[in-house]
């Protein structure tokens, strides 16, 4: 039987070990090979963060490209360095994506910033070396795999809850394990993050993964860290984690097509979005 969240939360050691065991059994690959692949993924994420924080080059449609750098270089009146770092890292990765730079889909390109934002953001804040992120990233992959067995991880089928919600769940579990949380805590961090993304619609302006996607990754990287903090403190999801995934799948089916990446509703049909699409030479498919 494929792993469920219920299996994962009963693991005696770190949840990532159970995920890795399943992966090795399914693929026949060696442990060393899989971990080396994960190191490679981390390196791509790290480089995307570094490039994104320095660049203010506009994205393909010109709606984003400078936000991560702006936040990163701004004064911080809140005196909340973790908050700023996590958001800036996440947005840096997504602005790289919007410029067609190299990123790691985690689980998708549109939601690629949340996991590196939260994971590297927390690690750098606490001075944790990158090597210690390898197993938490394995766990993040396992979380996505469990969710993807119940729902297509795509805004076009499940709304943004299926993309950014999944990325926040992955990030929350990974951060929890990184900070020494039990398997149970990691799984519940994922569930807490996921249940608070339910219902989120996919409405990118002009179909470009720019607005609201870039800032949304910033917000949801913080959301993931909050879920990890709650789980590490002992808070658990009242709804069992696997049931949260089922709720996500049902909500995805209930969402109207207008709110699933069709450009026919939500932010994509606001007057400003319509004007922008027309400027780009397109015809917005909005009804009014
Ligand atoms: S709004 Fe749609 S395109 Fe943008 S991140 Fe969410 S699911 Fe992806």
pLDDT in tens, 54-103: 999 999 999 999 999 999 999 999 999 999 999 999 999 999 999 999 99
Pocket test for ligand 1, best of 209, 218, 220, 252 (most atoms within 8 A of CB): 209
Question: Which residues does residue 202 pair with via DSSP β-bridges, in sequence order?
Answer: 260
CA pair distance 149, 58, nearest whole angstrom: 36
What average pLDDT does range 28-41 have in this prediction? 98
In a domain, 287, yes or no: no
In a domain, 286, yes or no: no
Domain that holds residue 163: 5-279
pLDDT in tens, 186-232: 999 999 999 999 999 999 999 999 999 999 999 999 999 999 999 99
* pLDDT for res 287: 78
For the chain, percent of residues with pLDDT exceeding 70: 100
What average pLDDT does range 27-44 have in this prediction? 98
Pocket test for ligand 1, best of 155, 156, 218, 265 (most atoms within 8 A of CB): 155
In a domain, 285, yes or no: no
- Residue 214 CA to ligand 1 centre (angstroms): 9
Confirm or reject: Cβ of 160 under 6 Å from ligand 1.
yes
- Residue 185 CA to ligand 1 centre (angstroms): 28
pTM for this prediction: 0.97
Which residue has 């027309």 as its token pair? 278
pLDDT in tens, 244-265: 999 999 999 999 999 999 999 9
- Residue 22 CA to ligand 1 centre (angstroms): 30
Q: Which two tokens stand for residue 135?
A: 């197993």
- The domain tally of the chain equals 1
In a domain, 284, yes or no: no
Q: What angle do CA 261, 117, 134 make, to 5 degrees?
A: 110
In a domain, 107, yes or no: yes
> Which value, in Å, is the radius of gyration of the alpha carbons in the chain?
18
* pLDDT for res 288: 66
In a domain, 87, yes or no: yes
In a domain, 162, yes or no: yes
Q: Measuring CA to CA, which residue among 164, 184, 162 is closest to residue 232?
A: 184
What average pLDDT does range 263-280 have in this prediction? 96
**Residue 261 alpha carbon, nearest atom of ligand 1:** 2
CATH code of the domain covering residue 31:
1.10.4100
Q: Is the pLDDT of residue 1 over 90?
A: no
In a domain, 288, yes or no: no
Ligand 1: which residue has its CA nearest to atom 6?
160
Residues in the chain: 288
Q: Is the pLDDT of residue 38 over 80?
A: yes
Query: Are residues 72 and 188 in contact, defined by beta-carbon separation less than 8 angstroms?
Result: no
Averaged pLDDT of the chain: 97
- Cα of first residue to Cα of last residue in the chain, in angstroms, is 48
What average pLDDT does range 93-122 have in this prediction? 98
């Amino acid at each position: 039987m494929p792993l469920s969240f219920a299996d994962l939360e009963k693991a005696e050691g770190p949840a990532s070990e159970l995920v890795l065991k399943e992966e090795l059994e399914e693929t026949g690959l060696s442990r060393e090979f899989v971990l080396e692949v994960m190191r490679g993924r981390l390196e791509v994420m790290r480089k995307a963060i570094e490039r994104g924080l320095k660049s203010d080059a506009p994205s393909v449609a010109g709606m984003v490209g400078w936000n991560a750098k702006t936040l990163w270089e701004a004064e911080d009146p809140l005196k909340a360095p973790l908050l700023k770092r996590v958001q800036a890292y996440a947005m840096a990765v997504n602005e790289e994506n919007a410029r067609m730079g190299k990123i790691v889909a985690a689980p998708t390109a549109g939601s690629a910033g949340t996991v590196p934002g939260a994971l590297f953001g927390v690690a750098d804040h606490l001075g944790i070396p990158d090597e210690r992120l390898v197993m938490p990233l394995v766990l993040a992959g396992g979380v996505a795999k469990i969710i993807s067995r119940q729902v297509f991880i795509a805004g076009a089928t499940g709304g943004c809850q299926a993309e950014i919600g999944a990325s926040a769940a992955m990030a929350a579990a990974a951060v929890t394990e990184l900070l020494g949380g039990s398997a149970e805590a990691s799984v519940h961090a994922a569930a807490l993050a996921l249940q608070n993304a339910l219902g989120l619609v996919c409405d990118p302006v002009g179909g470009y993964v720019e607005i609201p996607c870039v800032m949304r990754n910033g917000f949801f990287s913080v959301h993931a860290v909050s879920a990890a903090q709650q789980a590490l403190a002992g808070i658990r999801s009242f709804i069992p984690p696997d049931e949260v995934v089922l709720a996500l799948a049902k909500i995805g089916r209930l969402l109207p097509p207008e709110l699933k990446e069709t450009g026919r509703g939500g932010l994509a049909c606001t007057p400003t979005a319509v004007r922008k699409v027309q400027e780009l030479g397109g015809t917005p498919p909005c009804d009014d």
